Amino acid sequence: MSDTPPVALAIAGTDSGGGAGLTADVRAFTACGVHGAVAVAAVTVQNSVGVQDFHPIPPEVVAAQIRAVAGDMGVDAAKTGMLASTAIITAVVEAGDQVGLGTRVPFVVDPVAASMHGHALLAPEALEAVRTLLIPRATLVTPNLDEVRLLVGVEVVDDDTAREAARALLDLGAGAALVKGGHLEGSADVVDLLVLADGTEHRFTSPRRSTEHTHGGGDSLASSITAGLARGMALVEAVALGKAYITRAVEHAYPLGAGHGPVSSVW
Ligand code: PLP
């Protein structure tokens, strides 16, 4: 028998193709040495080509999953991904407050709005709930550049605008913001800028890989950071773990189906 590992909880959507969402989260949790628990917020009908449809889970069922996990095995860190609607965000926040997400328990908010193919995974009117309910509770918020534009209206093109975006997210109440540069065309490296509430900055750089197969990359970064936090790492150390994990995951991504293959979880 082994010792009980730390527990990380992902509150997000499924991907029937096994590439992104909760499947990527649980793979990252396992690879990074923590037990992965899941609160399913939505079921997507999805393959490597795209998201064909999704079905939101009743908000009270999402909340009940969070309470069931926290009340039994405890949660050492949690993350959100696809939450689909304002009603689900509200239920997550209510249950999260009861179990200490963002206060006692580190809470990573990945503000998932759309898939890499451009399919909406969040109702447009729910952006306001992300801004006013989720982000103020976040230990860390991890938007890509499209999500930055939607949330704070900043077009990130360089370091200065990435910093401006991070500060706008901190102004919404996040404990820290990681602005992910992966979608910035033309740069040789992928630079992710982490800004903490005290204004401290850290840059995480990796070589850009030319691959079509990055499905689930954003989820995997947020969940590997969450795993680090569940293991008791300080935030900067957990982000460094996440950056190392995702860099390797993209290097070892593989083709699958007719569309975009997933990042790997070999670690
Ligand atoms: N499906 C689900 C359930 C997700 O949570 C996400 C991303 O967060 C995606 C699909 C999209 O992943 P990608 O943009 O890597 O294709």
Question: Counting atoms of ligand 1 from 1, which one is nearest the CA of 216?
Answer: 15
Instruction: Tell me which residues have their CB closer than 6 angstroms to ligand 1.
Output: 12-13, 15, 20-21, 44, 46, 51, 81-82, 112, 115-116, 121, 215-219
Q: Looking up tokens 């709930």, which residue turns up?
A: 129
Distance (Å) from CA 2 to ligand 1 centroid: 33
What is the pLDDT, as a whole number, of residue 266? 86
**Structural domain spans, the chain:** 7-251
Take atom 9 of ligand 1 and give the residue whose Cα is closest: 115
What is the pLDDT, as a whole number, of residue 49? 95
Kindly give the pairing relationship between strand 35-46 and strand 7-13: parallel
Question: Counting atoms of ligand 1 from 1, which one is nearest the CA of 44?
Answer: 3
Q: Which residues of the chain fall below pLDDT 70?
A: none
What is the pLDDT, as a whole number, of residue 187? 77
d(CA 112, CA 149): 13
What is the pLDDT, as a whole number, of residue 119? 92
Q: Does domain 7-251 have CATH number 3.90.550.10?
A: no
Distance (Å) from CA 212 to ligand 1 centroid: 14
Take atom 6 of ligand 1 and give the residue whose Cα is closest: 21
Distance (Å) from CA 127 to ligand 1 centroid: 17
Mutating to test ligand 1, I would choose from 79, 119, 142, 219 the residue with most ligand atoms within 8 A of its C-beta, which is: 219
Q: Are 120 and 114 in contact (CB under 8 A)?
A: yes
Distance (Å) from CA 256 to ligand 1 centroid: 15
What is the pLDDT, as a whole number, of residue 196? 98
What is the pLDDT, as a whole number, of residue 184? 77
What is the pLDDT, as a whole number, of residue 188? 82
What is the pLDDT, as a whole number, of residue 231? 98
ipTM exceeding the 0.95 mark: no
Take atom 4 of ligand 1 and give the residue whose Cα is closest: 21
What is the pLDDT, as a whole number, of residue 182? 77
Residue 162 backbone dihedrals phi, psi, to 5 degrees: -65, -40
Q: From the CB of residue 127, how many other CB atoms can be counted at a distance below 10 Å?
A: 17
Distance (Å) from CA 21 to ligand 1 centroid: 5
Read off the pTM.
0.97
3-state DSSP of the chain: CCCCCCEEEEEEECCCCCCCHHHHHHHHHHHCCCEEEEEEEEEEEECCCCEEEEEECCHHHHHHHHHHHHHHCCCCEEEECCCECHHHHHHHHHHHHHHCECCCECEEECCCCECCCCCECECHHHHHHHHHHHHHHCCEECCCHHHHHHHHCCCCCCHHHHHHHHHHHHHCCCCEEEEEHHHCCCCCEEEEEEEECCCCEEEEEEECCCCCCCECHHHHHHHHHHHHHHCCCCHHHHHHHHHHHHHHHHHCCCCCCCCCCECCCCC
d(CA 70, CA 100): 9
